[in-house]
Amino acid sequence: MSDIDVGDYNKSRGFLIGWGALLFCLWFFEADLTKFKLMGNEITLTKNIDDVWLLLGLVAAYLWFRFYQQLPTDAFKFNDEMNEVYDGLLRWWVRIRLYLCVSKRIARKQSEFLNGSSVKVLRVEIKMHHAELSSPESTVVVHELSLTERATMLVKYFTKTTIPDKETVEGWGHGETVTVPSSIAIALKVIAVVKGVFTVSWFTDYIGPLAFGGGMAVLAIHQWTVVNL
């Protein structure tokens, strides 16, 4: 029995998912819970039959709390993989902003400064601000940054300038600091969670089992109330 209730994260998750899947199958197929087989012997319940779903739900609730206790400290915060997904979406927004608005503005301003020269943005380099804050001596913990710091990045533009009657000049500009608006940063974070469900293991490691096991515990207790109405 000590192996069943051992304080191990993987086993706690396995028991929670397994028990939750069993409850779902019993509910979905409307199984007869008055009879079952144990080690080859058929057992028939004769007392407190209406409370079977309550007992199953309480076991599910116990397994849920057991799993919750085994979760790592930062389980509800983005891990490195999820941070990369989120950073990728922030950079994607900046690129879209560049192609729709910024590149034309830069080209227009430089063209005016260079007396009508043709300026075209060819490439863009995006560096997250929190990456610049990191150093070998002090590494920045991304999830501890404010939303503004997290969504701030340095953007440099590689431009091609064609000056009339002269050769074409290419080079990197000084760049500018870009901060994604809070509303868009939050929306992108929601999108990152949805994308992360299918691309990285963060959701299925922590959030998925917790939600599934808790849902099955609630389902079992709800089924008990239905039976006893």
Question: What is this structure's pTM?
Answer: 0.75
Q: Say how many domains are in the chain.
A: 2
Contact 12, 67 (CB under 8 A): yes
Same domain, 91 and 149: yes
Q: What is the DSSP letter of 48?
A: S
pLDDT at 146: 75
Same domain, 113 and 62: no
Give the helix/strand (H/E) hosting 34: none
pLDDT at 220: 94
pLDDT at 208: 94
Average pLDDT over residues 2-9: 62
Which residues 6+ apart lie within 8 Å of 18 measured at CB?
Answer: none
Residue at 3 is within a domain = no
pLDDT at 113: 63
Residue at 1 is within a domain = no
Give the type of residue at 70: Q
The better pLDDT of the pair 97, 92 is held by 92
Same domain, 107 and 190: yes
Taking CA atoms, 19 is separated from 11, 36, 72, 119, in Å, by 12, 16, 22, 64
Same domain, 135 and 118: yes
Number of H helices, E strands in the chain: 9, 6
Q: Given pLDDT bands bounded at 50, 70 and 90, which one contains residue 54?
A: very high
Greatest mean pLDDT range, 35-49, 55-69, 103-117, 176-190: 55-69
Instruction: Return the half-sphere exposure (C-beta side, CA atoms, 13 A cut-off) of residue 127.
Output: 11
Range of the domain at 69: 9-76+203-227
Which residue has tokens 């979760």? 71
Contact 23, 56 (CB under 8 A): yes
Same domain, 137 and 71: no
pLDDT at 3: 56
The pLDDT tens digits for 133-148 are 555 555 667 767 777 7
Same domain, 97 and 178: yes
Q: For residue 1, is pLDDT > 50?
A: no
Q: For residue 129, is pLDDT > 70?
A: yes
Residue at 2 is within a domain = no
Same domain, 174 and 220: no
* Percentage of the chain exceeding pLDDT 70: 81
Contact 128, 141 (CB under 8 A): no
- Please provide the average confidence, as pLDDT, over all residues in the chain: 82
Q: For residue 2, is pLDDT > 50?
A: no
Same domain, 153 and 184: yes
